[in-house]
Each structure stands twice: as C-alpha cells, then as structure tokens.
Amino acid sequence: MLPADWLSPLGLITIVIGFTVLEGVGLWLYRRRTGKGVAARDFAANWVSGLCLMFALRSALTDAGWMWVAMWLLASGLVHASDLRSRWQH
C-alpha cells in the first residue's frame, strides 16, 4: 500500500486491526511478566469477537464475497455468545 492508501477505509481498518492485535499481545505479555493487569481469559473472547467484526468489515471493503463477510460475522456472534454465557450469573 502506498502512504496515501493508509487513509482509505481499507487502510484505516487494517491499521486498527494491527493496533488491536498489538493491544491484545501487549496485555497478555504484561500480565505474564508482572502478574498484574487483566488476565487473558477475561478479555480474550471480547477481543476476538471485535477482531472478527473488523475482519468482516475488511472483507466487505475488499469485495471478498458475502460468504467471507458472513463467516466473520458468525464467528463474532458465536464468540460473543460464548463470552456472555461464561459471564452469566445464575
């Protein structure tokens, strides 16, 4: 991608995906090294669900086809439902 392309919708979502991946890895490493911060089990499902939504948007922006968009949306929904189920208080 050329520098001007980074300001396009596709470029911006790619940047956001990159920062989101770095954020998750950073949180995990910080917790692993210090024992402080958020445990991976407490943020991983929410993090993955958000990434799946971003990949769905990226797929739509690249004309990858409706099946890719649907797959990413389904994955996001399933991970989100799993997260809600694990947090549900009985």
CA distance 28 to 79: 19
What's residue 7's pLDDT? 85
Q: Could you report the per-residue pLDDT of 12-50, keeping only the tens digit for each?
A: 999 999 999 999 999 999 999 999 999 999 999 999 999
Q: Is the dihedral of CA 4, 14, 22, 88 positive or negative?
A: positive
Q: What is the DSSP string of the chain?
A: --GGGGGSHHHHHHHHHHHHHHHHHHHHHHHHHHS-S--HHHHHHHHHHHHHHHHHHHHHHTT--HHHHHHHHHHHHHHHHHHHHHH---
Q: How many domains does the chain have?
A: 1
Parent domain of 67:
3-87
pTM above 0.95, yes or no: no
What's residue 1's pLDDT? 60
